[in-house]
Every structure is written in C-alpha cells, then in structure tokens.
Structure 1
Amino acid sequence: MAFSDHVRRVAGEVVVGFAAGSGIYAVTFRIDSVDQDPRFPYVAIGYTTEADVAASAGAAASDAWEARWSYACFPPTGLEGVRAVGQETPGAAAYRREAESRGLWYEDDEEPGERDEQLIAWFYEVCVAAARHLHDSGLLVQVLGRPVPVILYDMFDPDAMFALTRNANPAELASEFLTMDPA
C-alpha cells in the first residue's frame, strides 16, 4: 500500500471514531516528526469542540480568533490528537520505501542536502491529500452531520499552517481561520 493511501485510510478510521453531536467544529492534523527528523514524520489527528472554545475563551486566549483557531489553545484532543499516523509499523515501512524510491532517503552518516526540505514538502502533500479526501469522500459530513474544516499545523513552522489549511479545505470552510493569514 502506498504511504499516502495508508495515511488517508487511517485518517478516515480516526474520524469515524469521533462522536457525532459532540460539538466538533474542526478536525486537527498536527504535523510533526520524531526528534525533528523529517525522515520520521507523523500526523496526530484530533479535533476541537465548541466547549473547548468556551473554556479557552475565559482562560488562556487573548481574543476570539485565538480561542477558536490557535493550536496554543487547543485541548489535548486537538493538540496531541487521538491517534498518530505515520510511525506505526505499516506506515513507517511504506514511508521509507517511497522515500527511497523518490531518492529522498538518507542514512545518518550522509549529508541530507535538500532532501530534508523535500521530505517535509512531500509529507505536507500527503497530509493535505488526506484532509481533502475527508471532504471529498463526504466522510466528515457523514460522521459529524455537517462539513467542518481540517486545520493542519506544524508547531515548528507556524507560517505553514495557513497555506496547508487553505489547500486542504473548501474555501468557505477555512475562511474564518484564514482571516489571520499574514499573506
């Protein structure tokens, strides 16, 4: 199975496990890697709810946008996710095979050159495609009863979250999130 197919399949399994009627207003994809090594990426898939916004609005958030959309205010289900995809055995093996076939894999004793950036860009593409599939397949509406945005973010590259989220969602779903896009 191709790595992108694996991530898409597991993302669907995670979303199917979300409780309908729980006030989920956004699905979250926290993009990360083990020890900040782009050869070992994963995405933690989770969600945030209206109740979470109400709790953070009175506590940590300085404004309404931050309470709703900033990962700094996300609850554990949105920040840590409910399941990580990419470094479990089938995912890691598929990722390495594809990275090798693309000429992007390198060993510890090799200079990565531009391969680090290329690995990151490829993983971003995989995550965006998985999020798009959740929309295009109708799974988000089927499970949650309505369309919700998928917010993609990399805490080590905060500027990437706007472009990733824009590319992963129908424009109308991401419009409120994108109001703070500096671009």
Structure 2
Amino acid sequence: MSFAHYVERLAGEVVAGFPGDCGIYAVTFRIDSVDQDPRFPYVAVGYTTEADAAKSAQQAQTASDAWETRWSYAYFPETALEGVRTVGCDPQGAAAHRQEAESRGLRYEDDEEPDGRDELLVEWFYEVCVGAARRLHGSGRIVEALGRPVPVVLYDMFEPDAMFGLTSAANPAALVAEFMAQDPGEDPSGTTSERPEG
C-alpha cells in the first residue's frame, strides 16, 4: 500500500467515527511533522462545530471577526487543533513514508544536507493530504458520517499562506465559497493570483 493510500484509508476511518449529530460544519486537516522535520510528517484529522463557532463569535472583539471565528485555526477548538487522531507518524505510516521517500530519491539522513529534498517532501505531503480530502468527498464518507457534505479545511500553522490553495484544491468550489472569501489571492476583479500548489 502506498503512503497516500494509507493516509486516505486512515483519514476515512477517523471521519467515519465522528459524531454525526453535533453540528460539525468542517473537517480539519492540521498538516504538521514531528519536530518540524519533513521526513516525519503527519496530519491531525479533526473537526469543528457550529457550537464552537458560536462560542468563538461571542468572544470576538468585533462583528468583523465573523470569518475569523468560523474559519481561522486561531479560533479552532481542540478537536480541530489537536484532531481526533494523527495519521502518518505511527510505525506503519512512518515506514510507508520512508520507503516511498527513498524510492522517490527524497530521503536524507541527519548528517546530510537536504539540498531541496526537504521542500519536496513538504510538497509531496501536501499532495497526499489534498488527495485524502478529495477521497473523503469522492467516496461519500463525509456524507455517510455526517449526513451532508462539509468542507475539509487543510492548514499548516507554519505555512499559513498555504491554507487557501490547499483547501481550494481539496474541495468542490461550492463547499468552500465562504471560506475562500478571505483568500488574499483573490482580487476585486475576480481573478485569482497564483496559489501554493496542493
């Protein structure tokens, strides 16, 4: 099984276990790595609810914070920040990642210079996470678990500008229209500037 298929399968299992009656409006993928080392990536799969957003809105300073309290990870609850489960850094996931990284020529050891391989590992993991989110939609797993389609918000707290490009690439456009309203890549003419690859 490829590393991508492994992440897709486990992410699907996590979402299948979400409570379907608690007002979940977004599945969340917090993209990270152990000790900020791209050789050991993982994604924390979680969710946020309408009750979470309402609580954040009550604590917000102004009404203009409405988008932030609903969509910014700065306001996300523990179920979205820490996730329900991390996928990728367990022994099976780490072994699958290492084997595939080696086959792609991206693996390096502590005493070696990454020579750009670190950045390529990050890009590859972004692609894996976008693919896993697309699979959640395509397989019907989200609707099956939650009773309706909801977006998957992908974010990397160490690369915040990647959030919009990744989330856009991972979801049907209609599901993320509200989220994408704050995309700094959008300009008033309606055209979109180049976004990070997903």
Residue in 2 aligned with 1:73? Answer: 75
Do the aligned partners of residues 82 and 20 (structure 1) sit closer, same or farther apart at CA in structure 2, a change above 3 Å counting?
same
Residue number in structure 2 paired with 1:54 = 54
Q: What root-mean-square deviation, in Å, do the aligned CA atoms of Structure 1 and Structure 2 show?
A: 0.8
The answer to whether the Cα contact below 8 Å between 1:32 and 1:154 also exists between their aligned partners in 2 is yes
The aligned residue for residue 44 of structure 1 is 44
Per-residue deviation, 1:128: 0.2
Helix, strand or coil for the counterpart of 1:180? Answer: coil
Q: Look up the SS of the partner of 1:42 in the other structure.
A: strand
TM-score, scaled relative to structure 1: 0.98
How many Å separate the matches in 2 of 1:25 and 1:168? 16
Q: Which residue of 2 aligns with 1:34?
A: 34
Structure 1 consecutive aligned stretches of length 4 or more whose deviation exceeds 6 Å: none
Aligned-residue offset at 1:21: 1.7
Q: Report if aligned partners of 1:44, 1:80 keep a CA contact under 8 Å in 2.
A: yes
Structure 1, unpaired ranges of 5+: none
In percent, how many aligned pairs have the same letter?
A: 70
1:60 is displaced (CA, Å) by 4.3
Partner of 1:97: 99
Alignment: residue pair count: 183
TM-score, normalised on structure 2? 0.91
Q: Deviations over 1:127-174 (max 9, x none)?
A: 000000000001101110100000000000000000000000000001
Aligned-partner Cα distance in 1 for 2:145–2:24:
11
